Structure 1
Amino acid sequence: MSPLEDLLALLWSSSTAVLAGVAVLLLLAFASRRFALQETRKGPPGPKPLPVLGNLLQLDLKWLHISLCELAERYGSVFTIYIFTKKVVVLAGYKTVKEALVNHAEEFGERHIYPMFQDINQGHGILFANGGSWKEMRRFAISALRELGMGKRLAEEKIRAECSHLISLFEKYDGQPFDTSRPVSKATSNIICSIVYGSRFEYDDTRFTCMVNRANDSIHMLGSKQIQLYNNFPWLFSWVQHRRMILKNCDESIQDIKDLLAQLKEKLNPRVCTGLVDCFFMRKQKEEDLSVEQNHFSEDNMVHVVANLFAAGTDTTATTLRWAMLLMAKYPQIQDGVQEELSRVIGSRQVCMEDRKNLPYTDAVIHEAQRFANIAPLAIPHQTSRDVTFQGHFIEKGTVVLPLLTSVLFDESEWETPNTFNPSHFLDEEGKFIKRDAFMPFSAGRRVCLGESLARMELFLFFTTLLQRFCFTPPPGTSEDELDLTPVVGFTHNPSHHQLCAVSRR
């Protein structure tokens, strides 16, 4: 071999050795990085799922929130379950839920949209939408509602006026037992209608009655096992009766809304906004005049924003108010305490929001009714917007997340007697009202209820006005102990079917 060939061979062998060494180092680095990545991407723990069924054998779907609280005791405040084949990460306890929804609001801020809600909303509106359209509609709704007096004097006047109509309706029963659900639903719905449409409806209005009934019935069916099956296997269970009934209800309600919108458009005065719909029409025209490239102010969005506000504003506040009245009948000594304070501080005049600071016991009772009623135990499902490592657990983008509000409102580390209806949770030793951080019935973060301030005002004014005028008691022959506090499971938790007597105090 020539000297040149010897040199080339040496260079080749040296290069090969170097390349081999580099390759080994790269492989080791890759393996080390992959191992480290696997360690950092370790998902939340949870019970081992079965094929297809997931963790159904370990869950009670009727009382899912209770099953999840029990699993949290075993697996911690962040854990994974499978509902059929759907992976779900559950967040339990006040500190964990707050950290996720508030401190990591961007990562946990998307809405998971089950097939049933996609069928209903088609990505429009506020409650079940994501992306640019959701941001624009939520921003608009909050701005418009504030302009129309949400949480302010104008809204207070509307609520106080509605209180008079509700009292008149209760008085017609003359102290006899009646179901509170429809009257209260109509009263709270009218507050939303007066803000959205600019006017209220009479309680005997046929269209209004049908709209309220359809909304209540659909919300109840949304929590049924039929809809749970459809949401997990839409290709297999699209035929279920509850889905057909909900879609029929929605179609009829949307047609009613379109008819009302058409009437309002004919009377639109560009210089005066009487309701949110007027504000939407004017904003829609402005966006069209400016030829905005991404104009989300479409008729579809308008219809579904109105439908979302109507359904949410009708059900949640009415349900909480019904729980409050039932709890007063169940615990008459607490009702006596509220009425004593109202008589001493207010007398016979109508209550106003300014009075709240002087009614600490009453305010505490209202807050405790919200906590104890726990009407949205699972909140509305969230979804991760991107990969996130949370409390040491890796959660992939697009994972369904359940903020377990039950575990917040009944957190044993936050509440002295979580399983008892106890207004002292919101009172200090001197009997003054105190705020509690773990009071989170409206959820938190980017998806916190946009009507929270209105709902708080409604609950205070309706509750105090009714307690001024009536004592709520069980039907004759029924004792307080016989009043059932077991909720009816639906999309929200309503009281079991019951009747109460509204006995006049005058």
Structure 2
Amino acid sequence: MEWSCGLLTPFLLALLVLFMVRKFFGRKGNLPPGPRPLPILGNLLQLQSREIHKVLLKLSKTYGPIYTLHMGPKPTVVLCGFQAVKEALVDNGDKFSGRAEFPIVDLTSKGYGIAFSNGERWKELRRFSLSTLRNFGMGKRSIEERIQEEIQYLLELFQETKGSLLSPTFFIRRSISNVICSILFGRRFEYTDQKLQTLLDLVAENVRRLDNIWVQLYNFIPSILNYFPGPHHKLAENYQAQLEYAEAIVREHENMLDPSSPQDYIDAFLIRMQQERNNPHSQFNLSNLLTSALDIFFAGQETTSGTLGYGLLILMKYPSIKEKVQAEIKNVIGRTRRPCLTDRVKMPYTEAVIHEIMRFVDFLPLGVPHAVTEGTVFRGYALPKGTIIVPVLHSVLYDPTVFKSPYEFDPEHFLDQNGLFKKCEGFMAFSAGKRACPGEGLARMELYLYLTSILQKFEICSDIPPEDIDLSPEYSGIGKMAPTFQMRLISLDTQDSFTQSPQR
């Protein structure tokens, strides 16, 4: 009997392991094929790279433009290439408009706000935020004037450097953060403001922490890792500090609120909270206000400042392209009048360069994971409700069927045969479909006004020969950023004054 039990025990253990593997990795629905997962870990070991998008692209060469990976026990469908991503996010936008749910989100934003919410909460908050941002000037003259005012502070600071070598990243981040602060909080901050700098540091630190192995593992075994110290807890602590910063500003607004004259996004949200205070199902509450404000702050600051900094480095690498932009600025705007948005339609080459910067920089190569909102048949595969979808935006922005030379920086990608700016359906720097970035309009305005204003007044140059400038990005969590670099800004005419356009 003892001998029989000795044989039976490993047999039962084997059955248990087989049951767990089938439970975790047995196909739900009819998912696309993909690499074989390991028990518990899934395909995580295959993704241990600072350039995950390259790993995903390599796998697509074996399994095709749509395949399944297991992020731990969770099946994840990966989409590669323009056609697959467009078919999902644009042609089937409603079905692919969900946001993937991860335990790390429960640890931080808890599903509040715009970026990681779903269902009616997401629909209401996104609709309100888009409307409110438009009312406070997104796409209108008022926000243009705010951007121009903030640019003036930056240009004066650059003027004071007198052509000395500097790292522009800090100044660009502070300047662009002030634009979004004016919309959200109704005020700008001095570059020396330590509280705002702390907020910026917390945001940057959390972005870097997102690719930490402990944070990744937390998404798959949160019930265990909750009891262990590690970076996942620091992520939550940092996010809580960001919430406290935002709440302090909200309390100030509550004390000065004039319902008849909202001054910024927070005022508008507080007024809506008052209007719906008797609605028990209202999404307009303090938690959604704080998280939505942080979502907009991140989207309106981190990506735009990173893209602008990277763009300056790229133009130093390619001085002939920079000179063509400066020539167009001189011909259309001149040297004394400050650039304005009405000039943009007359500057096709500059517009093409800005779009090529965004395409080439590829700030979020993986995008943000989606989820299907209902059981969906996609290209013959049955995707159950809630299936995580990773649309690899890098594979769209670098798709050779869309862009003739995707790995080269070439503004011709956005110019037609007559030299006029042309839109490109494969330009998905802001994602696409229902979950496209709500701050796209603001980001386009800022990049145009900042870049033309800087190049109008300064010659940008590096002490490194153009051919030796390295454009290889630094990877920071889920995104990319420009490598650390230094530059000189040589004033083209210190006597120029900034005057308002008489044709505005």
TM-score under structure 2 length normalisation: 0.89
Find out whether 1:341 has 2:328 as its counterpart. yes
Find out whether 1:123 has 2:111 as its counterpart. yes
Structure 1: how far apart are the matches of 2:138 and 2:372?
31
Tell me the equivalent position of 2:384: 396
Amino acid in the other structure paired with 1:98: K
Q: Tell me if structure 1 keeps the 8 A contact 2:367–2:391.
A: yes
Amino acid in the other structure paired with 2:469: L
Residue-by-residue CA offset, 1:162-200 (whole Å, 9 max, x unaligned): 111111222233222222222111111111110111121
- Of residues 89, 105, 122, the one that matches 1:101 is 89
Q: Tell me if structure 2 keeps the 8 A contact 1:175–1:504.
A: yes
- Of residues 222, 226, 246, the one that matches 1:257 is 246
Residue-by-residue CA offset, 1:25-64 (whole Å, 9 max, x unaligned): xxxxxxxxxxxxx999532121222223322454343211
Q: Tell me if structure 2 keeps the 8 A contact 1:486–1:496.
A: yes
Residue-by-residue CA offset, 1:423-451 (whole Å, 9 max, x unaligned): 01011122111111100111111111011
Find out whether 1:181 has 2:159 as its counterpart. no
Tell me the equivalent position of 1:5: none
The secondary structure found in structure 2 opposite 1:198 is coil
Structure 2: how far apart are the matches of 1:358 and 1:175?
31
Give the fraction of aligned pairs with identical amino acids, expressed as a percent: 37
Tell me the equivalent position of 1:3: none
Q: Tell me if structure 1 keeps the 8 A contact 2:28–2:384.
A: no
Tell me the equivalent position of 1:148: 136
Structure 1: how far apart are the matches of 2:419 and 2:286?
51
C-alpha displacement of 1:225: 3.3
Unaligned 5+ runs, structure 2: 1-25, 494-504
1:240/1:334 CA distance change after superposition, 3 Å:
farther
C-alpha displacement of 1:326: 0.9
Find out whether 1:486 has 2:445 as its counterpart. no
Tell me the equivalent position of 1:322: 309
- Of residues 418, 426, 429, the one that matches 1:441 is 429
Greater alpha carbon shift after TM alignment, 77-86 vs 158-167: 77-86
Find out whether 1:205 has 2:221 as its counterpart. no
1:112/1:162 CA distance change after superposition, 3 Å:
same
Greater alpha carbon shift after TM alignment, 400-409 vs 123-132: 123-132
Structure 1: how far apart are the matches of 2:348 and 2:474?
31
1:229/1:480 CA distance change after superposition, 3 Å:
farther
Q: Tell me if structure 1 keeps the 8 A contact 2:366–2:478.
A: no
Amino acid in the other structure paired with 1:117: V
User: What does residue range 275-294 of structure 1 map to in structure 2 within 5 Å?
Assistant: 275-288=264-277, 291-294=278-281
Find out whether 1:218 has 2:189 as its counterpart. no
Structure 2: how far apart are the matches of 1:167 and 1:386?
50
- Of residues 114, 138, 154, the one that matches 2:102 is 114
Find out whether 1:303 has 2:290 as its counterpart. yes
Amino acid in the other structure paired with 1:285: Q
Greater alpha carbon shift after TM alignment, 69-78 vs 371-380: 69-78
The secondary structure found in structure 1 opposite 2:431 is coil
Q: Tell me if structure 2 keeps the 8 A contact 1:40–1:392.
A: no
C-alpha displacement of 1:235: 3.3
1:253/1:55 CA distance change after superposition, 3 Å:
closer
C-alpha displacement of 1:488: 1.6
- Of residues 74, 78, 87, the one that matches 2:75 is 87
Structure 1: how far apart are the matches of 2:123 and 2:108?
19
Residue-by-residue CA offset, 1:209-239 (whole Å, 9 max, x unaligned): 2112221222222233332232233234444
Tell me the equivalent position of 1:430: 418
Amino acid in the other structure paired with 2:49: L
Residue-by-residue CA offset, 1:374-419 (whole Å, 9 max, x unaligned): 0011111011112111011111221111011001000111110001
Amino acid in the other structure paired with 2:418: E
Structure 1: how far apart are the matches of 2:450 and 2:188?
16
Q: Tell me if structure 1 keeps the 8 A contact 2:81–2:396.
A: yes
Structure 1: how far apart are the matches of 2:224 and 2:489?
48
Structure 1: how far apart are the matches of 2:45 and 2:126?
39
Structure 2: how far apart are the matches of 1:449 and 1:170?
31
Find out whether 1:416 has 2:404 as its counterpart. yes
Residue-by-residue CA offset, 1:54-75 (whole Å, 9 max, x unaligned): 2245434321101111211221
- Of residues 344, 347, 362, the one that matches 1:359 is 347
Tell me the equivalent position of 2:492: 505
C-alpha displacement of 1:263: 1.0
Structure 2: how far apart are the matches of 1:59 and 1:251?
29
Amino acid in the other structure paired with 2:178: N
1:463/1:379 CA distance change after superposition, 3 Å:
same
1:461/1:89 CA distance change after superposition, 3 Å:
same
Root-mean-square deviation (CA, aligned residues, Å) is 1.8
Q: Tell me if structure 2 keeps the 8 A contact 1:40–1:393.
A: no
Tell me the equivalent position of 1:132: 120
Find out whether 1:452 has 2:440 as its counterpart. yes
Amino acid in the other structure paired with 1:486: S
Tell me the equivalent position of 1:7: none
- Of residues 237, 243, 247, the one that matches 2:236 is 247
Larger Rg: 1
1:153/1:74 CA distance change after superposition, 3 Å:
same
Q: Tell me if structure 2 keeps the 8 A contact 1:77–1:92.
A: yes
User: What does residue range 17-56 of structure 1 map to in structure 2 within 5 Å?
Assistant: 41-56=29-44
Structure 1: how far apart are the matches of 2:309 and 2:298?
16
Structure 2: how far apart are the matches of 1:206 and 1:249?
16
Unaligned 5+ runs, structure 1: 1-37
Structure 2: how far apart are the matches of 1:347 and 1:258?
44
C-alpha displacement of 1:89: 0.3
Tell me the equivalent position of 1:13: none
Amino acid in the other structure paired with 2:310: W
User: What does residue range 56-67 of structure 1 map to in structure 2 within 5 Å?
Assistant: 56-67=44-55
Greater alpha carbon shift after TM alignment, 345-354 vs 243-252: 243-252
Amino acid in the other structure paired with 1:93: G
Structure 2: how far apart are the matches of 1:187 and 1:260?
19
C-alpha displacement of 1:293: 3.7
Structure 2: how far apart are the matches of 1:411 and 1:60?
24
Greater alpha carbon shift after TM alignment, 122-131 vs 80-89: 80-89
1:234/1:41 CA distance change after superposition, 3 Å:
closer
